């Protein structure tokens, strides 16, 4: 299934300006047969169905979780869960007493780094001798190459997309690296999915429009442009 991807992290959902002690990390997993769309307190998190996601949120208290299943809409459900500050919560979508629920599998304390301001990022850039306007530091090259080797060993494009998206959404990468990752994929819908996963993890976002060259179909190039321009 070309839209079935596994997303490791969605740091785009970190709310800028929130204090670190009000954050939490939430992981949700579902069976392979139930790719889901996830919402929190009526706010949609993803537009592409996934079977796993991890996201950072500046929230706490009682939160309304919702899972929608495009392939099985009759199974969609909502549930109120309690989210504590500075915790890592792992949920599994499983059946309990005949109905699907978010089942808490683990809960642990964790510390979040302070969100760096623009000035400190600029100072870091000067220290490293490189100009950048996005995330920092860039992913370790050895890890990047090892990921590509892993991708090359996969037979199915859906699995390749899963590995690429997981890396792109958990690391800081250069536009050139993203284009190289896109070139591994043959379906442009999958390239769109990879762009969504990596959009806020780009070291040099001033170059991000270069990825438009990876799209042949005009409608996909327009969709990619919308993704790039969103939030600017």
Q: Three-state DSSP class for 23?
A: coil
In sequence order, which residues have a C-beta less than 8 Å from that of residue 3 and are 6 or more positions away? 35, 48, 49, 189, 193
Question: Measuring CA to CA, which residue among 45, 51, 37, 31 is closest to residue 161?
Answer: 51
Instruction: Specify the pLDDT at position 51.
Output: 86
Average pLDDT score over residue span 2-16: 38
- CB-CB contact of 186 with 217 (8 Å): no
A 10 A CB-CB count for 230 gives 9
**pLDDT for position 126:** 37
Confidence tier at 146 by pLDDT (50, 70, 90): confident
User: In what side-by-side order are the strands of the sheet with 77-83?
Assistant: 43-44, 37-40, 61-68, 77-83
The mean pLDDT of 133-157, rounded to a whole number, is 85
The pLDDT, as a whole number, for residue 115 is 38
User: What average pLDDT does the chain have?
Assistant: 80
61-68 and 37-40 strand pairing:
antiparallel
Nearest to 9 by CA among 78, 100, 80, 112: 112
Please say whether the beta carbons of 113 and 20 come within 8 A.
yes
Q: pTM of the predicted model, to two decimals?
A: 0.46
Residue 86, CA distances (Å) to 39, 48, 169 in order: 20, 28, 21
Distances (CA, A) of 147 to 19, 81, 134, 181: 33, 35, 22, 10
Say how many residues make up the chain: 232
Residue tagged 């001798």 (tokens): 129
CA distance 89 to 110: 10
pLDDT tens digit string along 65-120? 999 999 999 999 999 999 988 888 999 999 998 899 999 999 888 655 443 333 33
Residue with tokens 């009000």: 22
Tokens in use for 153? 């060993």
Residue with tokens 């409608």: 219
pLDDT at 133: 61
**pLDDT for 127 beyond 60:** no
Residue with more model confidence, 51 or 15: 51
Q: Which domains does the chain have, with CATH numbers?
A: 5-109 (2.60.40), 118-229 (no CATH)
Please state, for a pLDDT cut of 70, what percent of the chain lies above it: 79
pLDDT at 124 over 60: no
Look at residue 195 in the predicted model and tell me its pLDDT.
94
Q: Is the pLDDT of residue 11 over 70?
A: no
The residue ranking higher by pLDDT, 13 or 215, is 215
- Rounded to whole angstroms, the Cα distance separating 156 from 186 reads 11
CA distance 76 to 199: 28
What's the pLDDT tens digit per position in 34-74? 999 999 988 888 878 888 887 777 788 999 999 999 999 99
| Report for 3-17, 73-87, 136-150: range of highest mean pLDDT | 73-87
- pLDDT tens digits for 171-219? 899 999 999 999 999 999 999 999 999 988 998 888 899 999 999 899 9
């Amino acid at each position: 299934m070309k839209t079935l991807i596994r997303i490791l992290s969605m740091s785009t959902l970190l709310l800028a300006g929130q204090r670190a002690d009000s954050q939490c990390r939430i992981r949700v997993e579902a069976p392979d047969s139930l790719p889901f769309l996830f919402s929190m307190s009526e706010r949609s998190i993803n537009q592409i169905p996934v079977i796993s996601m991890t996201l950072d949120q500046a929230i706490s208290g009682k939160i309304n979780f919702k899972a929608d299943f495009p392939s099985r809409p009759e199974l969609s459900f909502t549930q109120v869960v309690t989210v504590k500050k500075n915790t890592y919560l792992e949920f599994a979508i499983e059946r309990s007493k005949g109905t699907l629920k978010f089942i808490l599998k683990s809960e642990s304390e964790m510390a979040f780094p302070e969100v760096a301001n623009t000035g400190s990022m600029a100072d870091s850039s000067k220290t490293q001798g490189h100009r950048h306007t996005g995330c920092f530091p860039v992913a370790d090259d050895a890890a990047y190459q090892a990921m590509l080797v892993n991708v090359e060993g996969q037979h199915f494009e859906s699995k390749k997309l899963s590995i690429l998206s997981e890396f792109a959404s958990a690391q800081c990468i250069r536009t050139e690296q993203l284009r190289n990752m896109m070139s591994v994929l043959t379906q442009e819908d999958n390239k769109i999915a990879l762009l969504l996963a990596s959009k806020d993890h780009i070291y040099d976002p001033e170059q991000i429009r270069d990825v438009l060259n990876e799209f042949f179909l005009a409608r996909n190039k327009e969709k990619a442009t919308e993704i790039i321009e969103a939030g600017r």
